[in-house]
Amino acid sequence: MVNGEINRKSGAPAPYRPAKVLLVEDNLGLAWTYQRYLAGEPVALEHVATGSEALERIATDPPAVMLLDLILPDLSGLEVLEKIQAVRAPITTIVMTAHGDVEIAVQAMRAGAYDFLTKPFDAGRLLTTLRNAVERQRLAGEVETLRRTRFAGFLGASLPMQALYRAIESGAQPTSPVFFTGESGTGKELCAQAVHACGPRRDGPFVALNCAAIARDLMESELFGHTKGAFTGAHSPRKGAARLADGGTLFLDEICELDLALQGKLLRFVQTGTLRTLGSDTLERVDLRLVCATNTDPGGGARISITGFMSCH
Output the pLDDT for position 100: 62
Q: What is the pLDDT of residues 249-298, one digit of tens each?
A: 999 999 888 888 888 888 889 889 898 888 888 889 999 999 999 888 76
> Half-sphere exposure (CA, 13 Å, Cβ side) for 275?
24
Is the fold of 19-149 the same as that of 155-312?
A: yes
CATH H-level superfamily of 155-312: P-loop containing nucleotide triphosphate hydrolases (3.40.50.300)
Burial of 124 (0-12, 13-18, 19+ CB in 10 A): exposed
**What is the pLDDT confidence band of residue 11, given thresholds at 50, 70 and 90?**
very low
Report the alpha-carbon distance of residue 226 to residue 239 in Å, rounded. Answer: 7
Q: Which is more confident, 14 or 166?
A: 166
**The model scores a pTM over 0.75:** no
Q: What is the pLDDT of residues 297-311, one digit of tens each?
A: 766 433 333 333 333
Instruction: Render 71-98 in DSSP notation, one character per residue.
Output: --SSS-HHHHHHHHHHHT---EEEEEE-
Give the lowest-confidence range in 12-21, 82-91, 269-278.
Answer: 12-21
- Boundaries of every domain in the chain: 19-149, 155-312
Fold observed for domain 19-149: Rossmann fold (3.40.50)
Helix axes 28-37, 123-149, angle to 10 degrees: 70
Q: What is the pLDDT of residues 204-244, one digit of tens each?
A: 999 999 998 888 888 888 999 888 877 777 778 889 999 99
